Amino acid sequence: MAERAPFLAACVQMRSGLDRAKNAADACELIAEAAGEGATFIATPEMTNVVDRKASRLFESLPEEDGLTEIGTFSEAAKRHGVWLLIGSMAVKLEERRAANRAFLFAPDGTIAARYDKLHMFDVDLPNGESWKESKVYRPGEEAVEVETPLAKIGLTICYDVRFPHLYRKLAQAGADVLCVPAAFTRQTGEAHWKTLLTARAIETGSFVVAPAQGGTHEDGRETYGHSLIIGPWGEVLAEASGDEPGIVFAEIDPSAVQEARQRIPNLALEQSFKLAILDL
């Protein structure tokens, strides 16, 4: 394939609430603004369509994928603006009281180019008393997803996946130029680890990382960190949201920089198999 040209990427930062239609409209407004600035790849955060930690309320009106009106809304937005549009994830009903945390990549003609279900569930108890058991509501996915587009080879992940570096290594070894990490990081974990984890994933794979985030205090009471980021394959921060307010950050992505970084540090090609010796002294 011919060498890919640089392109402008945009991270849409949101503060999604309980109203799916409003969230979709808010996202579309920011998507239009990003496209108007020349972005040809636009990514929104995890749970773009609804942020609701109360499962009973979530399932009162959450349909299965074929009834999810947001899909048509975002398909039309991608087609109208002629962009590659990653909806970082949406809640999608699978069965009674069970959902997927599912990303959708829309092509410029409005078709769905790829889906990805979040692999790693956020089941944690934090020091400040916060407790999250994502696996009680969401079913984890079963496969990693990489998409070859005319812009770049794009690896799809979601939020808590970022703490599992082997996933990113496999995507990069398969040729991914851009690793997407749409997220709704809690404020506590975001302040401690958000930028460090994303920078590490970029450096260790020699990839661009595009990480649109939820930010602020949401209607359901949770607080998310914001600070959407685009990071280059040498670990350089190319764009960062200054806080947790809704908005957009932009950066140019040059796929040739990925090959340059991987030639400098060819660790993806030099992986050594090993056995683990456990010594009982």
Residues marked active site are found at: 46, 118, 159
CA distances from 172 to 29, 144, 199, 204, 206 (A): 32, 12, 15, 10, 8
Spatial distance between the Cα atoms of 241 and 34, rounded to a whole number of angstroms: 14
Long-range contacts of 268-274 (CB under 8 A, 24+ apart): 268/169, 268/172, 268/173, 268/205, 268/206, 271/173
Q: Are 70 and 20 in contact (CB under 8 A)?
A: yes
* Inter-axis angle of helices 20-36 and 69-81, nearest 10: 10
| Buried/exposed code over 157-169 (b: 16+ C-beta within 10 A; e: otherwise) | bbbbbbeeeebbb
